[in-house]
């Protein structure tokens, strides 16, 4: 019996986003980067530089008898885009373009009505919150979006 759906959900997000055509060329990382990120675009699952948390979760029994539990959790994710230029608007647009692909792949659609279940890992998942970060460095403008994928599961 699984004690949490967190590991399966992270694996599902990685698989879904690595297979998404709109994220081709984006480096998709499981957890924190292990070195300098020289790639123009990257996405992390289970890490954000704005927090030491990877996932925050809570569980409770869903009914009398204590046979199953409901679990709610938030997976921290982070996307970053950089090209070395100074065009802030272009980096911001690219960051939201990447976020849109992430969101669309886990949103129900006619062709994929079960997308919010993360391939059956959870009852539902959604991008619940995020923020925009913009920095101008000696290596050009970066735009980044730390965001949260909120999930609910039954274990």
Confidence class for position 68, pLDDT limits 50, 70, 90: confident
Is residue 1 in some structural domain? no
Residue 65, pLDDT > 70, answer: no
Those residues with Cβ within 8 angstroms of residue 121's Cβ, 6 or more apart along the chain or in another chain: 5, 8, 9, 11, 12, 151, 153
Residue 67, pLDDT > 90, answer: no
Give the mean pLDDT of the chain.
90
Average pLDDT (65-88) is: 89
Max CA separation in the chain (angstroms): 60
pLDDT digits (tens, 9 = 90+) for 35-54: 766 668 999 999 999 888 89
Is residue 147 in some structural domain? yes
pLDDT of residue 37: 65
Average pLDDT (51-60) is: 87
pTM of the predicted model as reported, rounded to 2 decimal places: 0.90
Enclosing domain of residue 117? 6-31+40-73+83-154
Total count of domains within the chain: 1
Is residue 93 in some structural domain? yes
Q: Which two tokens stand for residue 103?
A: 């969101």
Closest CA to 153 of 68, 70, 78: 70
pLDDT of residue 80: 94
Is residue 47 in some structural domain? yes
């Amino acid at each position: 019996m699984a004690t949490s759906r967190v590991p399966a959900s992270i694996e599902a997000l990685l698989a879904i986003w690595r297979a998404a055509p709109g994220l081709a060329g984006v480096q998709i990382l499981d957890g924190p980067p292990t070195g300098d990120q020289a790639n123009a675009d990257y996405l992390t699952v289970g890490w954000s530089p704005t927090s030491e948390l990877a996932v925050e979760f809570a569980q409770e029994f869903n009914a009398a008898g204590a046979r199953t539990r409901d679990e709610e959790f938030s997976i921290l994710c982070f996307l970053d885009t950089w090209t070395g230029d100074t065009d802030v608007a272009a980096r911001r647009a690219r960051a939201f373009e990447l976020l849109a692909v992430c969101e669309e792949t886990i949103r129900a659609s006619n062709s994929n009505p079960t997308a919010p279940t993360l391939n059956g890992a959870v009852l539902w998942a959604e991008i619940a919150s995020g923020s925009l970060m913009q920095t101008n460095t000696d290596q050009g403008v970066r735009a980044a979006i730390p965001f949260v994928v909120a999930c609910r599961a039954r274990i």
